[in-house]
A = this chain, B = another copy of it.
Amino acid sequence: MDKLTIKTLAKELQLSVSTISKALRDSHEISIETKKKVLALADQLNYTPNPYASSLRKRKSKTIGVVIPEVVNSFFSQSINGIESIAKEKGYHVLIYLTHESFDNEKSILKDFESGRVDGVLISVCRETENSEHIKELMSKDVPVIFFDRVFNDVNTVKVTTNDFDCAYNATKHLIESGCKNPHFVSIISHLDIINCRLEGFKKALDECKMPFSAGNIINCTTNWEQNYNTLYKKLKAVKKPDGLLCSIENLSIIIYKVCQDLGLKIPGALQVVSFSNLDTASFLHPPLTTITQPAYEIGKTAAAILVKALEKKNFTIPNEQVVIPSELTIRQSTKN
């Protein structure tokens, strides 16, 4: 038995290949009866068109590339969920690539995309990334790139984020109102705009409350678990230790809990904690963690929807637009009040 192609159908129905193709794509050039016959046979023989032949000719792959730092992460996995919902609805396929927070990985992934493998890209850049040349390079080849969550502001494209500044501000306010005298900002060393936004929100709250801010109020972590544990351990053991933490990275909040456990520091008695986090176990932690929950699903869904809509247009242009979907502060026992 040969492979089942359009030619098989053509031969069987005594029609030309082009007629079959047009019939399958529901072209107006083909009569209703012919279409019916073609569809019927295709169905009967269980014909599925070769996507690569189609992609080659149409210069469209119906595929979007998703580039994220990691997948074992509530935020990103929820984002994927949102992305997939749109992809499925619109008949797109989703290629997933992980950078593991490495700039080199990110670069080589985007380089591969220059081949036309994907019609468009959704990316949340990695921590190491300092400049956006590789992204601009890809966009110059007419591959649209849309940012979500971790964005670069100097790239002209859509950026779907949450209201990081406001959230950090509100959360810090909440800490202070709950009695914190010495709030600290837990973060990672990075050029990411998102981190900076959160830091600025933190600063503004301190400023408004006439609390002094200095670099000492920042606890900088890295991508190394051990190292972060030690950093936090030292900070939380110090004499003039913080009595409140705004944690800007979900993963770090777990380490904070661990350190407190090991140090015998009571939360929220000795230390209040609020974290950016999408953990659905947050309310079952000991104690339940006050979180800023990002609308991860919606962020992914929105970014994907905008990308797909653009791709479906003939001469699409991606606007330079900032789409902000607000997060929610959920107060639990890790902060008083």
Contacts and interface: CB of A to CB of B under 8 A. Distances in A.
Interface of A: 46, 48-53, 55-56, 61, 63, 70-74, 77-78, 80-81, 84, 88, 93-98, 111-112, 114-117, 254, 257-258, 261, 279-281, 283-288
Q: Is the interface of A mostly helix, strand, loop or mixed?
A: mixed
A3 to B, nearest CB: 9
Contacts of A257: 284
A161 B115 CA distance: 37
Contacts of A61: 52
B115 A48 contact: yes
A70 B261 CA distance: 32
Given A51-B116, A111-B48, A96 B94 contact: yes
Give the oligomeric copy count. Answer: 2
Contacts of A114: 46, 48
Contact of A285 (B49, B88, B281): B281
Nearest to A72: B77
B98 A95 contact: no
Contacts of A52: 52, 55-56, 61, 116-117
A285 B285 CA distance: 4
